[in-house]
Amino acid sequence: MIFRRFEWAPPSDLAKDLREWFGASAPEVDVGPIEAAVAEGGDAALLRLTARFDATESSPTALRVDLDQADDALDAADDDVAAALRLAVENVAAVARAQVDDSETVVELDQGQTVTTGEVPVASAGIYAPGGRASYPSSVVMGCVTARAAGVGRVVLATPPGPDGRIDATTLAAAALCGVDEIYAVGGAQAIFALARGSESIAPVDVIAGPGNDWVQAAKRKVFGEVGIDSLAGPSDLMVVVDRHTRPGPAALDLCAQAEHGSESPLVAVGPDDPTLDRLAAEVEAVAAREPSVKDCRLALVAAPEPELAIDLANAFAPEHLQLMDPGSAGLAPRVRTAGCVFTGPESGTAFGDYLAGSNHILPTGGTGRIFGPLSPATFRRKTARVSLSSEAAASLAGPLEVLAKAEGLPVHGLSARARAGHTEEDDDQAG
């Protein structure tokens, strides 16, 4: 575990310094060759890339996984694992369904026209779940359950196989519980390009969602605009705000839990003074020494003069997860504007959000919480609008519209409106 203390500075400057320190070793990735290979080679290229990057011991012969394999995996799953997956599905679905609003809003304006707005689900969604040497059935739940709650008709799962060429059994069991329509054993940037543009086996989708490494995020940037994406959900990060009364043991475990995602995960601890941070750092070091799942990570230590300034730093840094561990922290939470998810109080560890709390763990990372939010049904739904004008509304609006159209050099727009200005129901009868 590598520690570094940062002197207090204006929050925007300090957040920039933190991001630069954590991002100094981030690899520059070029997904162009993978993009070209998938475009030119289709399924054959996807299978070749899967054998190269994931299924290194047993090359797969097909991309699509029979749904019966998922059902069989669920039947064979350990009872406790199956029960935990069901609880995750139930809680995530309950929160997601509560966010869906199928009602329409009708606004009647003074000139006599109405504008009706509403939402409809997209037709298809591709959920990416990381896999390969590790598996993340929880990401299957977070993505697929939310897409289903949004009303998506076709939900597709793409996840890389392990070295043996097979998808992890618990991941398949989660897919069965979520009612996934199609499963493909393919990962990395190549999976994103296939979901966006299709191949012989994979029909393209409308929206792609799910976390992934730098290669996955680079591919999502490439296809954004061709398809919708949820956010840029890369390496996990966590900022913990503690006070002098915070128990350092649980706080250290919370930090180290996120370190399990990989050495590139940014970890920040903010406290009132150096002694408080020293105690926390010592606990983190002790956990890292005894837990082999905690890789070499970097922890930034920041002494904030007062709690309100810690919130200012959080808003500037935009952490994926923000833990406010003071028992009275709920009062500060409404001031948070950019964190992916906020956990308030000493008992609210980020790990609960990763699995069973009901919130979604697919969150914006790398500071992109300034523009993106958590995965929700809104990711898979699009706004609609309908406009209806009466003859009186057309007559009232035609003149001002013609003025604006001429100002923009688009005179036929004005003529189009003017053609309705004197239009009556009698004209319709005569035309009939």
Positions marked active-site? 320-321
In whole angstroms, what is the distance from residue 383 CA to residue 360 CA? Answer: 22
In whole angstroms, what is the distance from residue 427 CA to residue 188 CA? Answer: 61
| Type of residue at 378 | A
Q: Look at residues 382, 380, 381, 363 and name the one whose alpha carbon lies nearest to residue 372.
A: 363
Joined tokens for residue 398: 């035609």
SS3 at position 369: helix
In whole angstroms, what is the distance from residue 204 CA to residue 196 CA? Answer: 5
Region for residue 136 given its phi and psi (left: phi exceeds 0; alpha: psi -120 to 50; beta: otherwise): beta
Torsion 44-49-52-53 (CA) sign: negative
SS3 at position 138: helix
In whole angstroms, what is the distance from residue 353 CA to residue 359 CA? Answer: 6
In whole angstroms, what is the distance from residue 174 CA to residue 171 CA? Answer: 5
Give the single-character DSSP code of 155.
E
Q: Look at residues 153, 154, 152, 149 and name the one whose alpha carbon lies nearest to residue 99.
A: 149
SS3 at position 83: helix
User: Would you say how long the chain is, in residues?
Assistant: 432
Joined tokens for residue 48: 């070749």
Between CA 274 and CA 366, with CA 18 as vertex, the angle to 5 degrees is 130
Phi and psi at residue 239, to the nearest 5°: -115, 125
Between CA 138 and CA 141, with CA 139 as vertex, the angle to 5 degrees is 65
Asked if residue 318 lies in contact with residue 341, where contact means CB atoms within 8 angstroms, the answer is no
Those residues with Cβ within 8 angstroms of residue 240's Cβ, 6 or more apart along the chain or in another chain: 251, 254, 255, 267, 268, 269, 270, 280, 323, 325
